[in-house]
Amino acid sequence: MPFTRISLRPGYSDAQLARISDILQQCLEAEFAVPPRDRFQIFEELPPGRHVFDRHYKSNGRSDNFIQFHILAGKPRTLEQKQNFCRLLCERLHAALAIHPDDVMVMIRFNTADDWSFSQGRMLSEEV
Amino acid sequence: MPFTRISLRPGYSDAQLARISDILQQCLEAEFAVPPRDRFQIFEELPPGRHVFDRHYKSNGRSDNFIQFHILAGKPRTLEQKQNFCRLLCERLHAALAIHPDDVMVMIRFNTADDWSFSQGRMLSEEV
Amino acid sequence: MPFTRISLRPGYSDAQLARISDILQQCLEAEFAVPPRDRFQIFEELPPGRHVFDRHYKSNGRSDNFIQFHILAGKPRTLEQKQNFCRLLCERLHAALAIHPDDVMVMIRFNTADDWSFSQGRMLSEEV
């Protein structure tokens, strides 16, 4: 059920974006109990001057690789789940793509299953 | 009061985008009790690889015509209103633009009238 | 903690976008008690036909300069804070950039400190 918008610099190859997509999905499955094929993402590449961020606020130092994950999820998660998800996401982005944990920002919002229709005008809560 | 972001493939003509805009507005007026001129929308056209979605999760099959509606509304709606809205939206998109109901995804979020300022720095709840 | 998406017409210079960024940040610091370096913004420039808005709904008249601020904040603000923020934002945009208050729309959403990770996979509520 989650939908994620990923805001990042231009210049990543299609293969690198696909790698970020896979890592995000793996972390959501591992820590947010998301089903395997429940994958919905938008990548938004922002030219210079369109992605404004402080280089040091609550980070040891952000670079041009700064990346934001805006997640909308349909049911609540515990603080522990959020912690584990964010830590795993940082670890895997670092290992696979050399995106530094200082460059990774996550914002999560929640609504309810009544607020999602995946297709055919059926609300998720109608599907049993 | 609703604001809607519509995420879709490139390639629609201006006339087709205007048709989608009209249909969305008609459905919001019919099923969400939105006033006639309360129309605020953003169309976001996503190149290949930037709109990531599973082709089959809770759908009979998504195509490149996959379209997402991200709605922010200022007061709650009932489940029945949401159901009716989503069904009508699917019906009309199919009839007018051959966008298949399997390709239509809707996500709704809510805040309050205190959270909207339409102009001049006045919050909506100040306007009587 | 706030994150703001600013949706506006193309054609502003880098210097003008930086001025809008500064004004927004000053207003958030003055009226929303946001710390000085807590600045996170995305500018989204929308071509004709992609930014759909009624020219008169709850406004004395919108022009092509119509600008929307979509704010996500991590803790609640009072109605008075929201009023003061929106008024100051309108005043300063008008004074500095001749963006008319009739052209300024603000939408605010809230989540919690548990929903933000600024870097290194740490949730904001873990940082004391």
Nearest neighbour of C83 by CB, restricted to B17, B43, B123: B123
Structure token pair of residue A26: 């793996």
Confidence at residue B12, expressed as pLDDT on a 0 to 100 scale: 97
C-alpha angle A42/B6/A17, rounded to 5°? 10
Please name the residue that has the structure tokens 């008075």.
C80
Count of CB pairs separated by less than 8 Å, B with C: 103
Higher local confidence (pLDDT), B127 or A79: A79
Question: Contact C58/B124, CB-based, under 8 Å?
Answer: yes
pTM: 0.98
Give domain status of residue A127, yes or no: no
* Contact status, residue C99 vs residue C93, Cβ threshold 8 Å: yes
Confidence at residue C127, expressed as pLDDT on a 0 to 100 scale: 74
pLDDT in tens, A63-103: 999 999 999 999 999 999 999 999 999 999 999 999 999 99
pLDDT in tens, C42-87: 999 999 899 999 999 999 999 999 999 999 999 999 999 999 999 9
Task: Give B1→chain A minimum CA distance, Å.
Answer: 17
**C-alpha C78, offset from chain centre:** 17
Given a cut of 70, whether residue A128 has pLDDT beyond it is: no
Contacts 24+ apart (CB under 8 A), C82-87: C82/B114, C82/B115, C82/B117, C82/B123, C82/C108, C83/B121, C83/B122, C83/B123, C83/B126, C84/C31, C85/C27, C85/C28, C85/C30, C85/C31, C85/C32, C86/B117, C86/B121, C86/B122, C86/B123, C87/B121, C87/B122
CATH of the domain at B79: 3.30.429.10
Give domain status of residue A34, yes or no: yes
* Residue C45 vs residues C49, C65, C68, C72: alpha-carbon distances, Å: 12, 11, 11, 19
Dihedral over alpha carbons A94, A99, A101, A102 (to 10 degrees): 160
DSSP for B62-127, please give it: --TT-EEEEEEESS---HHHHHHHHHHHHHHHHHHH---GGGEEEEEEE--GGGEEEETTEEGGG-
Task: Give C54→chain A minimum CA distance, Å.
Answer: 26
Confidence at residue C128, expressed as pLDDT on a 0 to 100 scale: 57
Given a cut of 60, whether residue B104 has pLDDT beyond it is: yes
Nearest neighbour of B86 by CB, restricted to A18, A39, A121: A121
Given a cut of 90, whether residue B126 has pLDDT beyond it is: no
Average pLDDT value for chain B: 96
Please report, rounded to a whole number, the percentage of residues in chain B having pLDDT higher than 70. Answer: 99
Q: State the CB neighbour count (10 A cutoff) for residue A48.
A: 9
Question: Contact C82/B115, CB-based, under 8 Å?
Answer: yes
Confidence at residue B36, expressed as pLDDT on a 0 to 100 scale: 94
Confidence at residue C38, expressed as pLDDT on a 0 to 100 scale: 98
CA-nearest residue to B103 within chain A is A119
Tell whether B125 is within 8 A of chain C (Cβ). Answer: yes
Mean pLDDT over residues B93-116, rounded? 97
Confidence at residue B128, expressed as pLDDT on a 0 to 100 scale: 57
Please report, rounded to a whole number, the percentage of residues in chain A having pLDDT higher than 70. Answer: 99
Domain count, chain B: 1
Mean pLDDT over residues B46-52, rounded? 95
Q: Which of B74, B78, B97 is nearest to B22 (CA)?
A: B97
pLDDT in tens, C93-124: 999 999 999 999 999 999 999 999 999 999 99
Confidence at residue C96, expressed as pLDDT on a 0 to 100 scale: 98
Non-local CB neighbours of A115 within 8 Å, separated by 6+ positions: A74, A123, B82, B107, B108, B109, B110
Confidence at residue A96, expressed as pLDDT on a 0 to 100 scale: 98
Neighbours of chain B (3+ CB pairs under 8 A): A, C
Phi, psi of B113 (to 5 degrees): -60, -25
* Residue C24 vs residues A49, B50, C19, C89: alpha-carbon distances, Å: 15, 29, 9, 7
Phi, psi of C38 (to 5 degrees): -85, 75
Q: State the CB neighbour count (10 A cutoff) for residue C95.
A: 10
Question: Contact A17/B51, CB-based, under 8 Å?
Answer: no
pLDDT in tens, C7-21: 999 999 999 999 999
How far is it, in rounded angstroms, from Cα A61 to Cα C50? 35
The residue range of the domain holding A24 is 3-119
Q: Which of A20, A31, A28, A22 is nearest to A3 (CA)?
A: A28
Is B78 exposed, middle or buried, given 0-12, 13-18 or 19+ CB atoms closer than 10 A?
A: exposed
User: Beta strands of A74-125 (E only): which ranges?
Assistant: 104-110, 116-119, 122-123
How far is it, in rounded angstroms, from Cα A25 to Cα A95? 16
Task: Give A36→chain C minimum CA distance, Å.
Answer: 23
